[in-house]
Each structure stands twice: as C-alpha cells, then as structure tokens.
Structure 1
Amino acid sequence: MSDASPLVLVVEDEPDLADLYATWLSTEYRVRTAYGGHEALDALDDDVAVVLLDRRMPDLSGDEVLNAVRERGIDCRVAMVTAVEPDFDIISMGFDDYLVKPVTKDALRETVSTLCTRNTYDTGVQELFALASKKALLESEKGNAELAESEEYIELSDRIAVLREELDETIGSVDDHDRFVGFYQDIERDEKDEDEDD
C-alpha cells in the first residue's frame, strides 16, 4: 500500500463495526475511522476520496454529516452504509451509493473501488451514476405501482434520461481510448443491472 492509495473515511457509531470495515479496507486503502458525526466532521478534509457513512448516529446523523460534506465543497464520493431502509427521500440526498446492513466484505470493497473510479470522471458522469444507483435501489425496494405514483421517482427517471443524452455527446468527444472504454464499460454495467431489475 503506497501513500498514493485513496483515503477512505469510515463513519460508524459502533466502534467494533467501524474497526471491522477499516480492517477489510486497509490492505488496499488508507483508512480513517470516526465513531460519530462530530468526529467525522473533524476528520474530514480534501484528502478524503470516499466516505462510508452510517445514517443513524446519536450525536449527529449521517444525513447531517452528508449535508456538511456537500456544503464544505469537499470533492469526495459518499456511500451510506446503514440499516435504514431506503425511501423516496433518498432522491434528494447527495450521496453516491447506498448499502443496507448487514454488509459483506466483498460488497464494501467493491463499493469503495467503484466510487474511487467515479472520482476520475467529470461531474456529469458522477451525477449520472449516483442517480442511476438511487433508481436501481428504489426499484429493488418498491413495487411498480408505488414507483409509478411517485413524482420524485418520475423526475429522477427523466433526469437520468437527460444525463444519458448529454453523456452520449461527451463520449463522442472523448479522444483517449482507455478512458472511452472505461466510460462504456461502466455505462453497460449500469444498464445491465437496470435490465436485470426490470
């Protein structure tokens, strides 16, 4: 592990669980742990690439920490790692991915790896993946009738469609072959996951 490894901030009010996540990640990443919301804000700086954030914490909720991260303008990806089942309120939240506990080692490591890759993309692509993740999550948790009745979900689907059109234009202008292949593989993987959910 080199000093250039991405830095992951694990925010979890159960110390044993936070330490377990840190152990799972420490072979590939630099890891900081924070055992509460206020501690997370103290540990947060521009070096952090990915935040793994619990939603329910007694001192300061994960939602409040997430808002503070975005208000500070820190350019990092955030995954909520929580026992809170997702509802339509997640659409307006500024996270990039959402994992429902219990979480496996492989799922956690894959999520961090994916989010580190997303850090290399521009803002529009990052937004597309974050919104697509929310859409897939809601589709896995809600019935078709409930989705069809949700204005938030319909607006989310429309926003994804617009971003995909913009992304098609971006891909058309990418000169670097490796970057083009990376864009395309991620988009195909995202579309395949959505097809499997249908």
Structure 2
Amino acid sequence: MTGDGLPTVLTVDDEPSLTALYEAWLRDEYSVYTATCGDDALQLVETHDVDIVMLDREMPGRSGEAVLEELRARGYDCPVVMVTGVEPDVDIIEMPFDDYLVKPVGREGLISTVQNLLTRQSYDEHVREFFALARKKAVLEAACDGSSLSLSDEFTELKAEYRAARRRADAARDDLLTEELGEVVLHH
C-alpha cells in the first residue's frame, strides 16, 4: 500500500491507451502505476510497494510471461492477473499467475477482479493457492474443447493439484474455525 493507504495496482501493457483506460477505471479506489514495457514494470515493482500487477501477456521486448517469471524469481508474491488478447490453452498451467482475463475487458470485470485478488490476499496461503488453481481450471474449461483437455496430461495434473489444494484449503478453513471457536469459548 502507498503512503495514502490505498492499495496499489500496476498496469502493464504495450498499448498506452489501455494502461490509461485501466488507470482511469481504478484511480478512485487505488493508487495506480502504469508501464508500457516489461523492463519498466520490473523497475516500478523494485521502487514501489505494489499490491497487484495487471500484466499483458504479449509485449515487444520482455513479454508478460517473462516479467511474471522474473517477478516470481525475485520473490515477489503479489497477485498477478494476466490481461491479454491471447486465448488460454494448456500452456498457461505452469504460469504462476492468479487470474487470467481475455481482452477486451470491461470496467466492472476489471474492478471486480482487482477487488477479489485483494480480498484473497488476506486468506491463508493454501486458500489462495486453491483459488488460483480453481481460476486457472475454470478459464481452461471455458476456453478449450473438453475432448482436447481430457487428452492433456498437463490438464490432468492441474486437476490433481486442484483437488489436493482443495483438501489443504479445507483443512486450513477447519483449523481456523477450530481456533476461532476456541477463542469464543475462552472469552465467555
């Protein structure tokens, strides 16, 4: 968060008109930084406290995928939403993003995605992992032919990871409820 207490969003797209549009949509509720290339995006993350990155997948120079890999390699675990014209395919399974939006993206969809990602930040890491995998699975199921997904070893592995993450998220939820109930009993 910035000094003004607002969560920060970095929008990265090689089309300046889109970063300006996203900034206009978000600036009432968030501090917004913009970048039109991957290198500038990485510099902004180094010099500013960024809560969410909205990242175009295909950009000249350093691609959005390369920026995402570099962010994770540098230890940044802030939520990343890919905002792209590239239809998803099983190639997204290994990408460590939190959400995936296909352009054109409307104002309400963009704002609700940012709000949801910020809300998820307060969740246990297992719950956040579950939501990221659930979103990836849903994006692929909506965009890809079911028969091609059924033949994909990567998608089969994603479904297994999703089920395991769900079990971990359920256990984290149960632990939290047990702790909260214990606190209620202690304070009464």
- TM-score strictly above 0.5: yes
Q: Which secondary structure does the structure 1 equivalent of 2:101 belong to?
A: strand
Q: Which secondary structure does the structure 2 equivalent of 1:165 belong to?
A: helix
Show the counterpart of 1:60: 62
Q: Which secondary structure does the structure 1 equivalent of 2:24 belong to?
A: helix
Match of 1:162 among 141, 146, 164: 164
Question: Counterparts of 1:108 and 1:176 in 2: how far apart (Å)?
Answer: 34
Q: CA shift at 1:120, angstroms?
A: 1.1
Which whole-Å deviations, capped at 9, do the CAs of 1:52-101 have from their partners, x for residues lacking one?
00011112100000001101111300000000111101000010000000
Question: Counterparts of 1:24 and 1:151 in 2: how far apart (Å)?
Answer: 39
Question: Counterparts of 1:19 and 1:83 in 2: how far apart (Å)?
Answer: 17
Superposed CA RMSD in Å reads 1.5
Question: Counterparts of 1:84 and 1:101 in 2: how far apart (Å)?
Answer: 8
TM-score normalized with structure 1 length: 0.85
Question: Counterparts of 2:43 and 2:89 in 1: how far apart (Å)?
Answer: 29
Question: Counterparts of 2:180 and 2:34 in 1: how far apart (Å)?
Answer: 37
Segments of 5+ residues of structure 1 without an aligned counterpart are 178-198
Q: CA shift at 1:50, angstroms?
A: 0.3
Is the contact made by 2:127 and 2:172 (CA closer than 8 Å) also made in structure 1? no
Show the counterpart of 2:110: 108
1:176–1:7 CA distance, 2 compared to 1 (3 A) = farther
Q: Which secondary structure does the structure 1 equivalent of 2:82 belong to?
A: strand
Q: CA shift at 1:21, angstroms?
A: 0.3
Is the contact made by 2:10 and 2:32 (CA closer than 8 Å) also made in structure 1? yes
TM-score normalized with structure 2 length: 0.90
Show the counterpart of 1:28: 29
Is the contact made by 1:81 and 1:98 (CA closer than 8 Å) also made in structure 2? yes
Show the counterpart of 1:72: 74
Which of structure 1's runs of 4+ aligned residues deviate more than 4 A?
none
Is the contact made by 1:49 and 1:119 (CA closer than 8 Å) also made in structure 2? no
Show the counterpart of 2:16: 15
Q: Which secondary structure does the structure 2 equivalent of 1:121 belong to?
A: coil
Greater CA deviation, 130-139 or 167-176?
167-176
Is the contact made by 1:128 and 1:164 (CA closer than 8 Å) also made in structure 2? yes
Question: Counterparts of 2:150 and 2:42 in 1: how far apart (Å)?
Answer: 38
Question: Counterparts of 1:104 and 1:84 in 2: how far apart (Å)?
Answer: 16
Show the counterpart of 1:85: 87
